[in-house]
Chain A
Amino acid sequence: MISAASIIFIVVGMIVMMVSNSMPTISRFGLAFLTGSEWKPADGVFGALPFIYGTIVSSLIALIISVPISLGIAIFLTEQAPKKIAAPISFMVELLAAIPSVVYGLWGIFVLAPFIRDHLGVFLETYLGWIPVVGQLFQGRLTGIGMLTGGIILALMTTPIITSVVRDILEVVPNTQREAALALGATKWETTMIVLGNAASGIAGAVVLGLGRALGETMAVTMVIGNSPQISASLFEPAYTIASVLAANFAEATDELYLSALIEMGLVLFLVTFVVNAFAKLLIMSVASGKAGAKNV
Chain B
Amino acid sequence: MESKISISNLNFFYGKAQALYDINLEIPEREVVAFIGPSGCGKSTFLRTLNRMNDTIPIAKVDGTVLIDGEDIYSSKTDVVALRRKVGMVFQKSNPFPKSIFENVAYGIRINKMQTSKSDLNDRVEKALVNAALWDEVKDRLSSSAFGLSGGQQQRLCIARALAVEPEVILMDEPASALDPIATQKIEELVVELKKDYTIVIVTHNMQQAGRVSDRTAFFMLGKLIEYNPTQKMFTNPDERLTEDYITGRFG
Contacts and interface: CB of A to CB of B under 8 A. Distances in A.
Contacts of A185: 81-82, 84-85, 108, 111-112, 165
Given A177-B97, A292-B98, A183 B53 contact: yes
Interface stretch (A1-9, A95-103, A155-163, A190-198): A190-198
A180 B97 contact: yes
Contacts of A194: 97
Nearest to B82: A185
Interface in B65-99: 81-82, 84-85, 88-89, 91, 93, 95-99
A197 B111 CA distance: 15
A68 interface: no
Interface in B99-131: 99-100, 107-108, 111-112
A82 B58 contact: yes
Given A82-B58, A179-B91, A293-B98, A184 B147 contact: no
A181 B84 CA distance: 10
Contacts of B89: 179, 183
Given A190-B111, A197-B99, A293-B147, A176 B91 contact: yes
Contacts, number: 74
Contacts of B84: 182-185
A294 B91 CA distance: 19
Interface string B36-52: 00000000000000010
Interface residues on A, range: 20 to 34
A10 interface: no
A297 B99 CA distance: 5
A117 interface: no
A174 interface: yes
A179 B162 contact: no
B97 A197 contact: yes
B56 A183 contact: no
The range of chain B's interface size is: 20 to 34
Nearest to B92: A176
Nearest to B143: A297
Contacts of A190: 111
Interface string A66-97: 00000000000000001100000000000000
Contact of A179 (B85, B95, B112): B95
A106 B106 CA distance: 53
B161 interface: yes
B88 A297 contact: no
A179 B44 CA distance: 14
A194 B104 CA distance: 11
A17 to B, nearest CB: 45
A64 to B, nearest CB: 27
A182 B52 CA distance: 10
Contact of B56 (A82, A174, A179, A292): A179
7 contacts: A184-B165, A185-B81, A185-B84, A186-B108, A186-B111, A198-B97, A292-B98
Given A176-B95, A179-B56, A179-B95, 6 more contacts: A179-B53, A180-B91, A180-B96, A181-B97, A185-B84, A198-B98
5 smallest CB-CB distances across A and B, nearest first, come from A185-B85, A293-B98, A184-B108, A183-B89, A176-B95
Interface of A: 82-83, 174, 176-187, 190, 194, 197-198, 292-294, 296-297
